[in-house]
Every structure is written in C-alpha cells, then in structure tokens.
Amino acid sequence: MKNRDYYRLLINKEPIELKANSKWERDLQIDQTSLKPIFSRVKSVCKDNKLREFYFKLLHRLVVTKKELFLFGKAEDTKRLYCEMNDSIIHTFHSCNWSQFFFLEVIKWFNKENVTSFSLSPTELIFWYGS
C-alpha cells in the first residue's frame, strides 16, 4: 500500500481495493463470491493468535518467501532449497511437489491415527475452507 493510499484511508475512510483477492482469483481460478467468506472468517479460524496471524498474512499474501527475500536483497536467488524452482506463495502452498508430498503425508498420518478418510482440495489446503 502506498503512503498516499494509507493516508487517504485514515483521513477519508475510503475503502481500498484489496489486491490479494484478485491475485488469488487469478492464480487459483476462484471467483470473488468464494473468496468473500474466506476473508471474513479470519477472527474465527482458530483460537490460537499465532495461527490466526499466519492465516491473515497468507490470505493477504504477506507471507515472506524466498522471492521477497531476493527482492529485499536478503537472498542470493529465488530458488527453493528442495525443488530448485522459483519460490512464491503459490508455488510453496499449491504447486510444489515437495509441499504436496509433505501435506499428503501429514493427512495420511492423521487419517491413520484417527481412523478417518480425510482429504483436502488445493483450495481447502490453502484457505482451510471448502469451495
């Protein structure tokens, strides 16, 4: 958010369009009507403040990946350690084979421990919310 937008919001209380919505819509092919309840449930997603904070940052695309570290001059490249692909929020939480394998193993473990057949779509995995 640019400074003038921030000041305009404080002074005039004009709503500012969230760019995260349109980016999620573009990257995951989700319509705005599906995203609205996802953004409105940040306070009720869980009781733990750290998890709520992470969920808020993920929704608003504020989670720092190697892509951002490179842009800020804190990393030498944007490549992920495990897969050597360029890092981004979408890659880390949606399209990375290593991340998908990790999440599948966690779900497999959960199902075995709880004798369930729990599964998640990519949208449910990222947003903890069904489409």
| Chain segment 7-16, per-residue pLDDT in tens | 565 566 555 5
pLDDT at 76: 92
Mean per-residue pLDDT, 27-52? 83
pLDDT digit string, tens, across residues 55-85: 889 988 899 989 989 988 998 999 988 888 9
121 domain-assigned = yes
Nearest Cα residue to 127 out of 21, 47, 49: 21
72 domain-assigned = yes
Residue for token digits 């695309």?
Answer: 61
Q: Specify the 3-state DSSP secondary structure of 72.
A: coil
pLDDT digit string, tens, across residues 86-115: 988 888 888 888 888 998 899 999 999 999
8 domain-assigned = no
Residue 40 above 70 pLDDT? yes
Distance CA 126, CA 90 (A): 9
Quote the crossing angle between the two packed helices 19-28 and 32-40, to the nearest 10°: 130
Report the domain count for the chain.
Answer: 1
From the CB of residue 47, how many other CB atoms can be counted at a distance below 10 Å?
7
10 domain-assigned = no
Q: Which domain holds residue 114?
A: 19-127
30 domain-assigned = yes
CA atoms 118, 122, 128, 131: torsion sign: negative
Nearest Cα residue to 38 out of 49, 48, 26, 25: 25
99 domain-assigned = yes
pTM of the predicted model, to two decimals? 0.72
12 domain-assigned = no
